[in-house]
Amino acid sequence: TDSAFRRVVVNSKMVLEDVARRHGVERDRIRLVYNGVDLDRFHPGRRESAGAALRKALAVSPRDIVCLFLGSGYGRKGLDLLIGAFREIASKEPRARLLVAGRDGDSAHHERAAADAGLSDKVRFLGPRSDAEACFAAADLYVLPTRYDPFANTTLEALASGVPAITSRQNGAFELIEEGVSGSVLSTLEAPAIARAVLAWCDAERLRVGSAQARALAEQHPAARTSAESAAVLDEVAAEKTGARA
C-alpha cells in the first residue's frame, strides 16, 4: 500500500520506469541512485601488473584482443549469445580471445557449445574468481549481452579499469555509456549485432582512447557518491516524517 513506504530507491531509469508502470508508484516518490564503484580496486594501473601476469599465465599474447565476460548465471547474462557471435568475431579478427569468468550451474554446457563452434582455442573458461580486478586488467573489452540486469555492477568495474564496455539495453547500466566513446550499447541481442559491436572496437587506437574515456566516466560514479545520495534520500524521508509529526 502507499502507506507502506515513502520513497522507492532504484539504480537505473530502466528500473524506475518498470516500478512506475508495473506497481503504480508515483514518479515523485521514486529516487534514482546509480550504483558506484571502488575506483582504487578497479584501476587502469593494474593492467601492467596483475593484468599482464594473468595474460601471461593464460598464454595470451600482448597482441591479442581480449574480450571478457564476467558474472554468475551465464544464461541470464547472455553467454550463449556471445559464444554464438564469437565464431564470426574470430573469423574476422584472428587476434580476438574470450575469457569467461564466473560461476554457473551448467558451465559444462557452455564449454561444449564453444567447442562445438570450433572455438576451443579462442574461448577460455576461468571458473569462479576472487580477483575480478585482475580479470578486468587483463581485458581490452568487456562484453555483457545480458537478457536482464537492473544495473550490472561489472559494467562500472570494467569502465573503472579502463575497459570499454559493450552491453545490452536490458542492463540498466547502459544508461551511463556514451555510444562509441566509452563503449557500445547493443541494438539487439542477435549474434550479428554482437559481432559488429565487438569488431568495431578491435582497433588499437580506438581502444586506447576508449580506455581513457571509460575511466573518466567511472570517476563520475565513485562508491562514496552512491553512499551520499542514498543517505540524502534517508534524510529527506526523516525530515518529511518529522514535519508530519510537528
* Confidence bin at 241 (pLDDT 50/70/90): confident
**DSSP string across 89-146:** HHHH-TTEEEEEES--TTHHHHHHHHHHTT-TTTEEEEES-S-HHHHHHT-SEEEE--
What pTM does this model have?
0.95
Q: How many CA atoms lie within 13 A of 40 on its CB side?
A: 2
Question: Residue 29: its pLDDT value, please?
Answer: 95
**Can you read off the three cell numbers belonging to residue 11?**
539504480
CA distance 240 to 246: 10
**40, 178, 68, 137 alpha-carbon torsion, rounded to 10°:** -30
Q: Tell me: the pLDDT tens digits for 90-135?
A: 999 999 999 999 999 999 999 999 999 999 999 999 999 999 999 9
Q: Tell me: the pLDDT tens digits for 5-49?
A: 999 999 999 999 999 999 999 999 999 999 999 999 999 999 999
